[in-house]
Amino acid sequence: MTRFTRPPPVRIADLVAPEYPEEIKAAFELAAPMAELLEWSSDAVLTQAAAETGLDDFGDDLHVAPLESLMRAMPTEGDLSTLGQLSNHSTLVGYAKQKLLVTDLLKRHPEIHDIEIKRPLVIAGQGRTGTTHLHNLMSSDLSFRTMPYWESLEPVPPLAEQGIDHGPRDEDDPRFGRCAEGLAGLNGALPYFKRMHDMTPEHVHEEIALLAIPYGGMAPETMAVMPSHRDWYLASDQTPYYEYLKTMLKVLMFVRPTGADRWLLKSPQHVEQLGPLMSVFGDATVICTHRDPVAVAKSMSTMLSYTARLSRNPEKIRDVGLYWIDRMQRMFRAMADERELVPAAQSIDVKFHEFMADDIATVKTVYELADHPWSAQTEATMNDYMALHPRGVHGSVSYHVEEDFGVDLNDLADDLQFYVDRFGVQSEV
């Protein structure tokens, strides 16, 4: 058996002052005249979605308030590059197209509402706290229903592709191909991204993409730095969006039945929405993951700054890291303040250092709490997954928030000490 050697970490020297290759510079220039033609209004987004789908019934008005907030914030606060303007506008239209397709499907198949979502397992933890590894490990157990990335982008296929049997292989679904093409472009433009979060069409993805269809949740917030929309989101009752999420899980089970009916979910936004989560999914088992908050802030601010280099004006990249360091502090505070909203009998706290020391033992404890079947075959499947997907196979990135963002780590650690005290995480700094 070949021994895996992890590549050494790299320093992204141009993190906050990107140096673009010639092909990216050309793409910015090519996008400029098209970006000037974009209309940033709710009517424009919804009208384009209707024209591209041939549908006009959005079902309800859940999307209205957040879309109006985004239309005010994104073009004025977002400091978007020309590519960012095109990409973000297209993403917003895409959400509206999905809402139209979902409404149409539900009208033609009202029996979807009768599908039950029973006792889901929900991973609630900020990024870089082990959530992806835990999610991937557990999703290798096919007794759980999960959502691959390709399905998250287009939960309901276009009308022209509905009712077509593409065969048993996911790769033969046109949605898979479109996803693969998009990821190829992303990895080409952002070569270090896979070192921080490797994305493939088939990898299990977060339901934050489903919450975003009516523009709910924090997914739209990741598209641009928009303090006013953040404030709208944090002040709004997200319960209706979680109810929409539950409907979307039923839709997915109808569109692509897998034989599994117990959902395995994961999203960082759950850490600050435990109330709505439990209101809608009252029988859920919630796995709360915790890690040294300073290590999390360093990693997440670096990753989100790097991915913003295509969508944000380069002179404003530094602000992205500072925004997310502040944003994560708010999320850590919310988890500390609201953790008790999840009943003790339905939840578990997973500390990163303990999980990394013995991941299989941690997963077994989760299964026991959730009353989910465990067997020698389950354990073998997870070990096989890890053997085929070694952690750090693409290498890693070193973090330098002191230099990149001017952040004093001692001050940051002091600000976040409450979280360390609350959950007993191990310091990594």
Confirm or reject CATH 3.40.50.300 for domain 118-218+238-423, answering yes or no: yes
CB 321 within 8 A of CB 302: yes
Give dist(CA 245, CA 251) in Å, integer.
10
Residue 391 has what pLDDT? 81
Condensed to tens digits (0 to 9), the pLDDT of residues 162-214 reads 999 998 899 999 999 999 999 999 889 999 999 998 889 999 999 999 999 99
Residue 412 has what pLDDT? 97
Q: What is the CA radius of gyration of the chain?
A: 21
Q: 360 pLDDT exceeds 90? A: yes
Give dist(CA 295, CA 332) in Å, integer.
13
Q: Which amino acid is at 293?
A: P
Residue 429 has what pLDDT? 75
Spell out the domain ranges in the chain.
118-218+238-423
Give dist(CA 35, CA 51) in Å, integer.
20
Average pLDDT over residues 98-120: 98
pTM (two decimals): 0.96
| 355 SS3 class | helix
- Alpha-carbon distances, residue 73 vs 59, 215, 227, 367, 386 (angstroms): 25, 13, 8, 43, 42
- The three-point CA angle 367-356-191 to 5° equals 110
Residue 326 has what pLDDT? 97
72 falls in which pLDDT band (50, 70, 90)?
A: very high
1 falls in which pLDDT band (50, 70, 90)?
A: very low
Q: 2 pLDDT exceeds 60? A: no
Residue 370 has what pLDDT? 98
Q: 182-217 b/e with 16+ CB inside 10 Å = b?
A: ebeeebebeebbbbbeeeebebbbbbbbbbbbbbbb
> Mean pLDDT over all residues of the chain?
96
Q: Taking Cα atoms as reference points, which of 200, 194, 203 lies closest to residue 7?
A: 194
Side-by-side strand order, sheet with 144-145: 144-145, 262-266, 121-124, 285-290, 347-351
Which DSSP state fits 204? B
Residues in the chain: 429
Condensed to tens digits (0 to 9), the pLDDT of residues 215-224 reads 999 999 999 9
Q: Taking Cα atoms as reference points, which of 197, 222, 195, 129 lies closest to residue 398?
A: 195
Condensed to tens digits (0 to 9), the pLDDT of residues 379-418 reads 999 999 999 988 888 889 999 999 999 999 999 999 999 9
CB 272 within 8 A of CB 331: yes
